[in-house]
Structure 1
Amino acid sequence: MSESCIRLKADIGQIKRCREKLDANSKSFLQLGEILSLAGNEVRLRILFLLEEEKELCPCDLSDILGMTIPAVSQHLRKLRAGNVIEARKEGQIIFYSLRKQHLKILIPFFKIINQQNMATRHV
């Protein structure tokens, strides 16, 4: 890639360091991008929030909580599971879903913001 900065005194060292940082973290950017892409849907974000709060829920619980049909909830759960954001555990006929532990550190800061905004509006 050519040096394309039009400034007369571009910091070539800075540009190189930044490129190296991006290259070194490319896998993390890909993983975070996939998680945020899935969480970018309001229903899936609500599901992820509920799974973090309650630790695990079944599609029937989510259907009742969200006021959605079980097939609609299941479609979102399939996408989250395909994206490797949630995992499933079967107990008899019931499947319980939970967040994958490795994604909690990425998602918890977002959920804290949601909870803080909720607390702030209660005190207004």
Structure 2
Amino acid sequence: MTGPLATTPCTLPLVEVRVTEFDLACLPATGAVFDRLLALHPAQMVVDLSGCRHIDAAGIGLLLDVHRRLARADGVLTVRDPNPRIRRILHAARLHQVLPVVDTAPSSPPGSPPGGQAPTRTQPALVAHGRASVKVAH
């Protein structure tokens, strides 16, 4: 009897990864990090590009592959804080039409809630965060 493929349920609510180099030269190392993170079966993966200076077609292809693999397991990939140059590249590649590309809100002065109001979002009781930085010496 053949039926639909069973998907593995998500086991972590959130995994974050900060990528500092995202091009063909770094693809094997970066891909290996993503493989390990995907093995955790996250419900959401956030790729922080705030420290990344360059992304090429290989990096975009890897993001799309991670997006497809997450989507098969009902997970979501989000790209966070790309610099203006990388944002233009992602826009030209129409990546923003496939997955969310977001910016974090500007920080407020210490001790004051954003906009002078109480925060409306609360953190879930159990959140697992992981960070991995991939940098390959050239």
TM-score using structure 2 length: 0.27
**Larger Rg computed on CA atoms:** 1
Structure (1/2) with the larger helix percentage = 1
TM-score using structure 1 length: 0.29
> Whose RCO is larger (CA < 8 A, sep 6+)?
2
Structure (1/2) with the larger strand percentage = 2
